[in-house]
Amino acid sequence: MGAFDTLAVEPPAAKAVERPTLLIVDDEPGPRESLRIVFKDRYHCVIATCGREGIEYARTHVVDAAILDIKMPDLTGVDVLRELKEIDPDTECVMLTGYETIETARAAVRYGAADYLNKPFDVFSVREVLDKCMKRRREKLAAEESVRTLEQTNEDLGRELAQLSRAVEAGVLSAGVVHEMNNPLAIIAGYTDLLGRDLAALGMADQETGQHVRQRLASIQREIDRCKDIARRFLNFSRSPQESQEIVGARRLLEDAAALIKAHPSNHGAEIAVSSGDPDPQLKVNPAEILQVLINLGVNALHAMDGSGTLQLSATQATSLPSEWAFRSETFDTQKPLVKISVADSGSGIAPENISKIFQPYFTSKREGTGLGLAITCELVARYGGAIDVRSTVSHGTTFSVYLPLTA
């Protein structure tokens, strides 16, 4: 005889309305049949003559509620209750017995019984109890479905926001690409102007002028290559490439930046000086990105000085740190050795109320500025877990200090 040979199942209702399933587990035919008759019009009734039958049915079918006799020959109703709750914790279970004891009542409550009724049961009472159980079951299922819907909606929204974020970021980067290219292209224009003057002087055909022409042509080629590198970074943005890094001395970066800033059209005779610690601090970075940081800061300094004044680029191992930061990346670690790279100018300074805004995209106090230079600077510094300190006095000048991890 199979496990379900004695199991009686009410014929299912029409498919249009799916009724809840009520599992009735009782070894006595009288109460079992009475319960079936009472509930057959409201629920899809399943009859089990012993505890194991009821458990086996619940393992392969959804059971919304169960009425369990406490005293049965194979398993107690409390044993069946415990198993049903392990299969589906939301199944509502009502205990039914003619042998109520405080001990069994406590056990039933401990395992999550919804209610406890005595035999012989009152039809109205058992209906009222089961209706409350079914209502609670529906509310639980509705709440769970709402949670699932919210979780799915949240997940879908997260994906949409991520796509939107990348689209916005790509839009900012596209504007950033234009901004970044402005510097090298302006430098190319400056060198071209100087080259034109040198070519005019070639009539004298002296060797020194020819050397100047070759040097400036080499500088133009470097800037063209830099434009290509910026374009490549933008085009590869969606693939998030692993940027190439190398160990480089801070002084080399400062000297390269100073040469490019000096050739910038915004320079009208500014005195540009470079200094670094001894030994020269070493950084593991993409040199082009740190060079971009220094050029952004240096060109801003030229604008603040109207092209003249004093610009000091320096680098040294940091021995102390500011108490507050103008910008600090999430991965910045004050416990690690750091390099302090400073760009100090003797320009007009920054108004105190603007210092907290200068790193925001599109914020600018310049008539023709894009407001992207410092936002891009923050993005590049953040890639290396760095931070930026700003000290400024109106009419006296500004010092930007970039803190980056020192490489031993």
> Rounded to an integer, what distance in angstroms lies between the CA atom of residue 341 and that of residue 323?
17
Please indicate whether residue 104 or residue 311 has the higher confidence score (pLDDT): 311
308 located within any domain:
yes
231 located within any domain:
no
DSSP notation for 144-174: HHHHHHHHHHHHHHHHHHHHHHHHHHHHHHH
> Rounded to an integer, what distance in angstroms lies between the CA atom of residue 283 and that of residue 285?
6
Same domain, 115 and 254: no
> Per residue in 14-72, pLDDT tens?
444 578 999 999 888 888 888 888 888 889 999 999 999 999 999 999 999 999 888 88
29 located within any domain:
yes
Q: What is the mean pLDDT of residues 240-256?
A: 78
Token readout for 88 is 């589906």
> Per residue in 206-219, pLDDT tens?
666 667 766 776 77
Give 240's pLDDT tier (boundaries 50, 70, 90): very low
* C-alpha closest to that of 345 among 291, 302, 293: 302
Of 101, 121, 141, the one marking the end of a domain is 121
279 located within any domain:
yes
Number of structural domains in the chain? 2
Provide the CATH number for the domain around residue 57.
3.40.50.2300
Name the β-bridge partners of 69. 96
Please indicate whether residue 164 or residue 59 has the higher confidence score (pLDDT): 59
The pLDDT of residue 273 is: 95
Same domain, 116 and 252: no
Of 104, 121, 138, the one marking the end of a domain is 121
32 located within any domain:
yes
185 located within any domain:
no
Same domain, 257 and 109: no
Of 79, 101, 121, the one marking the end of a domain is 121
Same domain, 252 and 117: no
2 located within any domain:
no
Provide the CATH number for the domain around residue 381.
3.30.565.10
Q: Are 108 and 97 in contact (CB under 8 A)?
A: no
150 located within any domain:
no
Same domain, 254 and 112: no
Helices (H) and strands (E) in the chain, counts: 9, 14
Q: Which domain holds residue 334?
A: 248-408
